[in-house]
């Protein structure tokens, strides 16, 4: 933070020592330095203040879910790792393209001063810190999405016909018994691994429970739904903690990304419209402005896409519950748990917001792009009316 503050102060105080550029380019440099510097310092400060208090609790809740469901699904973990790998690869590729372009400009032009070089260094440090923070958030969101998929898969596997012939979900049965005082959930671990599970389980029920097998089986189904409700509540708590942990950073990140993307596009378009052939004085490369705008858009796309996909996955839980409610002959206890589950999912939705100013999803990204285009059109018309280009 001290390094970024020092670089920004040097650039702002010595902006008259920039190369032979116009006022527009000089203003662009000062705006970029202020934009990236302030946003990065705020993001780092808030992260340091909140991460210490919340991160350990957040990871503990994830571990509770894994312990209950044994949800270390290798296929889902690989998909999550692949998503993070592709995300990192694209960002590195675009980042390197811009770095090479800036490096060529800085090394090939003799008019480059130390102020210009400090500006380039400060921009890269600030962008790197912002990208790291957002990547951490996206990884947590992807992990949450994996847990929601686990709940949906277990909900699909669990059957509610209540005819005594359906097999109960064994993973839930043996992973969640500690929440309940029913002896039916205290089956020994070795019984699970034997052949003819249903037959042996029936004998065990006959010897330990006064109810018949069908009734105990229906009871276990209702308890399974309650187990899913508990795990769904844990995921909602995790979502609230993520909003508390990263909400402020996401708000700052989105606002300053909007300003940076709009200013880069504005500079690039006006530079194209006012381009003079064979101009000898140095001009900040037009293509570099468009590259920076593209990178900012890609970085902004990642949290929006991840949050939108996770919220859509959580909506599938409610759809599955409603489908099961439509099935005929559902046991009354199971039906009661399903209705409570439906109310719970309706009242506690999994969605991500930036301090409740806006919801992070594709709609927000579309609104951001639309606002940027509107500002650009108004700005260009204002410039044209005043004969500034």
Report residue 371: phi and psi, to 5°: -65, -40
Print pLDDT tens along the chain (389 aa): 454 455 445 444 444 545 545 555 555 555 565 556 566 666 666 666 666 667 667 777 777 676 666 555 555 556 666 666 666 676 666 666 666 666 666 555 555 555 566 666 666 677 777 777 788 888 888 888 888 888 887 777 765 444 433 343 334 333 333 333 334 334 444 444 444 544 554 554 454 444 443 444 444 677 778 878 888 888 888 888 888 888 888 888 888 888 888 877 877 777 777 665 445 444 455 667 777 788 788 888 888 888 888 888 888 888 888 888 877 777 788 788 888 888 888 888 888 888 888 888 888 888 888 888 888 888 777 766 555 55
Token match 């959580």: residue?
314
Residue 317 sits at the vertex; the CA angle it makes with 79 and 222, to the nearest 5 degrees, is: 120
> What is the CB neighbour count within 10 angstroms for residue 88?
12
> How crowded is residue 269: how many other Cβ atoms within 10 Å of its Cβ?
18
Please give the distance of CA 317 from its chain centroid, rounded to a whole number.
19
Task: Give the Cα separation of 322 and 85 in Å (integer).
Answer: 36
**Burial of residue 5 (number of CB atoms within 10 Å: 0-12, 13-18, 19+):** middle
3-class DSSP state of 31: helix
Q: What is the pLDDT of residue 327?
A: 74
Tell me what pLDDT residue 226 has.
80
Which residues are 353's β-sheet partners?
A: 359
Give the whole-angstrom CA distance, residue 322 versus residue 317. 9
The contacts of residue 312 (CB under 8 Å, 6+ apart) are none
Q: What are the Cα distances from residue 311, in Å, to 61, 201, 263?
A: 19, 38, 32
Nearest to 338 by CA among 226, 207, 234: 226
Burial 26-64 (b: 16+ CB within 10 A, else e): eebbbebbebbbbbbbbbbebbeebeeeeeeebeebbee
- List the one residue out of 150, 172, 158 whose CA is nearest residue 79: 150
- The whole-angstrom separation of Cα 374 and Cα 368 is 10
DSSP assignment of 329-345, as one string? T--HHHHHHHHHHHHHH
pTM, two decimal places: 0.65
Query: Quick one: pLDDT at residue 219?
Result: 43
HSE-CB for 147 with a 13 A CA cutoff: 28
Per-residue pLDDT, 79: 63
Contacting residues for 324 by C-beta, under 8 A, at least 6 apart? 155, 160, 330, 338
CB 333 within 8 A of CB 160: no
Beta strand residue intervals within the chain, DSSP E: none
Rounded to an integer, what distance in angstroms lies between the CA atom of residue 257 and that of residue 248? 14
- Decide: 228 and 313 in contact? Cβ < 8 Å: no
The Cα 212–Cα 303 span in angstroms is: 51
Inter-residue contact 94 to 295 (CB < 8 Å): yes
Residue 353's SS3 state is strand
CA angle 357, 362, 366 (to 5 degrees): 85
Domain positions in the chain: 2-162+227-385
The DSSP call for residue 277 is T
Nearest to 355 by CA among 46, 37, 36: 46
Task: Indicate left, alpha or beta for 166 from its phi (over 0: left) and psi (-120 to 50: alpha).
Answer: beta
């Amino acid at each position: 933070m001290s390094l970024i503050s020092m670089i920004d102060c040097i650039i702002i105080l010595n902006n008259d020592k920039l190369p032979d550029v116009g006022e527009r380019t000089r203003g662009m440099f000062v705006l970029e330095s202020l934009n990236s510097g302030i946003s990065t310092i705020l993001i780092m400060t808030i992260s340091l203040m909140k991460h210490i208090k919340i991160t350990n609790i957040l990871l503990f809740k994830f571990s509770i879910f894994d312990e209950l469901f044994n949800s270390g699904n290798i296929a889902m973990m690989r998909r999550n790792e692949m998503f993070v790998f592709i995300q990192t690869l694209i960002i590195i590729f675009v980042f390197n393209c811009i770095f090479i372009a800036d490096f060529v400009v800085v090394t090939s032009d003799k008019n480059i001063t130390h102020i210009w070089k400090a500006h380039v260094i400060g921009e890269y440090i600030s962008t790197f810190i912002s990208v790291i923070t957002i990547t951490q958030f996206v990884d947590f969101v992807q992990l949450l999405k994996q847990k929601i998929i686990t709940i949906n898969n277990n909900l699909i596997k669990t059957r509610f016909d209540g005819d005594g012939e359906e097999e109960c979900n064994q993973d839930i049965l043996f992973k969640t018994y500690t929440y309940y005082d029913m002896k039916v959930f205290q089956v020994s671990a070795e019984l699970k691994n034997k052949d003819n599970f249903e037959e042996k389980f029936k004998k065990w029920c006959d010897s330990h429970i006064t109810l018949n097998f069908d009734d105990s089986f229906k009871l276990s189904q209702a308890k399974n739904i309650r187990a899913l409700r508990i795990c769904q509540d844990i995921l909602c708590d995790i979502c609230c903690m993520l909003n508390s942990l990263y909400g402020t950073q996401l708000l700052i990140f989105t606002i300053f990304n909007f300003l940076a993307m709009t200013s880069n596009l504005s500079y690039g378009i006006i530079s194209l419209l006012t381009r003079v052939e064979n101009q000898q004085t140095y001009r900040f490369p037009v293509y570099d402005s468009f590259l920076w705008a593209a990178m900012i858009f890609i970085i902004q796309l990642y949290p929006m896409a991840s949050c939108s996909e996770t919220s859509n996955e959580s909506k599938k839980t409610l759809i599955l519950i409603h489908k099961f409610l439509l099935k005929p002959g559902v046991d009354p206890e199971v039906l009661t748990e399903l209705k409570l589950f439906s109310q719970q999912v309706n009242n506690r939705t999994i969605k991500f917001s930036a301090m409740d100013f806006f919801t992070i999803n594709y709609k927000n990204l579309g609104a951001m792009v639309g606002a940027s285009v509107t500002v650009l059109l108004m700005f260009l018309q204002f410039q044209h009316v005043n004969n500034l280009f």
